[in-house]
Amino acid sequence: MTVTRFAPSPTGFLHIGGARTALFSYLYAKGRGGQFLLRIEDTDRERSTQAAVDAIFEGMAWLGLKSDFPEIYQTRRFDRYAEVIEQMLAAGTAYRCYCTREELDAMRAEQQARKERPRYDGRWRPEPGKTLPPVPAGVPPVVRFRNPAEGQVLLRDLIKGEIVFDNRELDDLIIARADGVPTYNFCVVVDDMDMGITHVIRGDDHVNNTPRQINILKALGATPPQYAHVSMILGGDGQKLSKRHGALGVMEYRTMGFMPEALLNYLVRLGWSHGDQELFTREEMMAKFDFDHVSASPARFDMEKAWWVNHQYLKATDPAVIAPEFEWHLRRIGIDPAQGPALTAVIEQQRERCRSLVEMAEKSRFFFEELSGYNEKDAAKHLSAKAAPVLSALLEALAGPDWQPEALHAAVHGVAERLGLKLGDVAQPLRVALAGMAVSPPIDQTLFLLGRRRSLDRLQAALVRATG
């Protein structure tokens, strides 16, 4: 069975690149009847925070990327790591190194001065016939992996293709610090092995770690998983995203007005394609996602296209599904959703003209709250003195009929006909009177949703303004 994992380190929010990696992992496993798990890589206790852990859960939950297991924390697996390190020490695939940080720093500096690639020189690496330096007093040792000195490592990456690494390029990395805490490259290997991960899907900044991890896995007698290294996402300007430069947490996309499925759809198409298809339901993504069509090169995040996708979702999704998210946005800008028409009805009428839920909430305010005033430009144009007869005719015509879209439509058209005006000359003043601005859903729908009482009151107020 396919088992994938998303393994973020909790040092910040869940950003867009992480979300895409998580999505790919999730889709690949779930589309094959497999399992997906979330693992928190918190071995760096200096930088890991609970707030970041919470932010990651929150982001994953909003996106609907559910783990099939309770989340796993590496810090709770220290006993297991210690056990494996002991095994490796006993087997001779790892050894203790008594170099101090100062020694290592000096080594690196010298190598860089000689324009060489910095690497551990193996001074504590046991070799047949080699005499190791005397163990210094008072230096707690680190444990290093004894990487094979010869040969090559072949990585068959599902995205990048075959990559060959020479073992001579790889040095003996530290797998346990002097204080006994194991390091990332080691924990990952043990976890992936223990958890039966079949496909490691992660950012391509890890490509260079992979041969080391494969070597450790082999030293442990395990079969390496398949790897898929996903390229990163660049900002719209082609620059790398960072905290300083445009990197946003997924929850900020919620605040901006994205639907979670829409964000997911945009993200899945960023670097992956399925012919010419642009829009996918969650089920389609799961069924169709594969690594044969994932691009190896980095992609830019194009906000315009992301909005387009969001708009497509707003237009096509069942309003009942959108409603809770819409309500969240209404409340966020201080609107009480109870003080107006049914949200599903408002969504139905507004979604054609809104690319974001923020836009929808703002454009729908007049349905839920009394008008705080008119857009002055629109009022000047449509509520001038010459609008007065139109408004009073409307007041009269709308007093009678059933408050249903068809009857309201007929009433407005009737006024235009009677006064010998184009529909626009009647609908626009009416629109500004009702909405406070010259933009709203079709006029009959606007009237209908706003209700008789509010409509007539606002018409009356507009008439006062036009005459006065």
| Catalytic residue IDs | 243
Q: What is the rounded CA–CA span in Å between residue 390 and residue 393?
A: 5
- 308 or 328: CB nearest RNA: 308
Strand partners, 16: none
Place of tokens 């760096």: 44
Under 8 Å CB-to-CB from 204, ≥6 apart: which residues? 159, 160, 229, 230, 231, 232
Q: Rounded to 5 degrees, what are φ and ψ at 138? A: 75, 10
- 333, 368 in Cβ contact below 8 A? no
Place of tokens 């009428």: 349
Q: How far is the CB of 20 from RNA (least distance, A)?
A: 10
Measuring CA to CA, which residue among 74, 94, 75, 76 is closest to residue 84?
Answer: 94
- 331 or 389: CB nearest RNA: 389
- 227 or 368: CB nearest RNA: 227
* Parallel/antiparallel/unpaired status of strands 233-234 and 174-176: unpaired
Q: What is the rounded CA–CA span in Å between residue 174 and residue 158?
A: 28
- 239 or 334: CB nearest RNA: 239
- 221 or 242: CB nearest RNA: 242
Q: How far is the CB of 145 from RNA (least distance, A)?
A: 12
Q: How far is the CB of 157 from RNA (least distance, A)?
A: 8
Q: In what order do the strands lie in the sheet with 94-97?
A: 94-97, 142-145, 174-176
Q: How far is the CB of 72 from RNA (least distance, A)?
A: 12
- 257, 303 in Cβ contact below 8 A? no
Q: How far is the CB of 1 from RNA (least distance, A)?
A: 24
User: How crowded is the C-beta side of 336, counted as CA atoms within 13 Å?
Assistant: 4
- 205 or 336: CB nearest RNA: 205
Q: ∠158-7-237 over CA atoms, to 5°?
A: 70
| Token output for 322 | 């959108």
Place of tokens 């009942």: 320
Q: How far is the CB of 125 from RNA (least distance, A)?
A: 14
Say which amino acid occupies 41. E
Q: What is the rounded CA–CA span in Å between residue 360 and residue 330?
A: 9
With DSSP H G I counted as helix, E B as strand and the rest as coil, what are the percentages for the chain, rounded to 5?
A: 50, 10, 35
Q: How far is the CB of 409 from RNA (least distance, A)?
A: 7
- 99 or 197: CB nearest RNA: 99
Under 8 Å CB-to-CB from 51, ≥6 apart: which residues? none
- Collapsed DSSP state (helix, strand, coil) of residue 157: strand
- 284, 262 in Cβ contact below 8 A? no
Q: How far is the CB of 210 from RNA (least distance, A)?
A: 9
Q: Rounded to 5 degrees, what are φ and ψ at 76? A: -95, 5
- 221 or 407: CB nearest RNA: 407
